[in-house]
Amino acid sequence: MSRFYFHLRQQDGLTIDDEGYEARDVAQALEEGMEAVRAVLVDALLAGIDVSASAFECTDEQGDVLFFLEFATALH
């Protein structure tokens, strides 16, 4: 198992994920990230908050960026 970090990138900066998520590989981390994006979108829509310009920046334990999950993309 490896640890993956989903940092939240918003217009006003980057919120660092200090805890991370354990997954067997990048594919599982991507699946978990997409589920997290959907959950954030639901909460934001119910609260009337526009998070469409936000994204998760997924890094590995060394801090290397593996992928971005743009919230706007998940809406389509």
pLDDT in tens, 1-53: 999 999 999 999 999 999 999 999 999 999 999 999 999 999 999 999 999 99
Q: What is the pLDDT of residue 74?
A: 78
Q: What is the pLDDT of residue 20?
A: 96
Secondary structure class of 70 (helix, strand, coil): strand
Provide the residue ranges of all domains of the chain, joining segments of one domain with +.
2-74
Q: Do residues 21 and 61 lie in contact, with contact meaning Cβ atoms separated by under 8 Å?
A: no
Q: Is the pLDDT of residue 75 over 80?
A: no
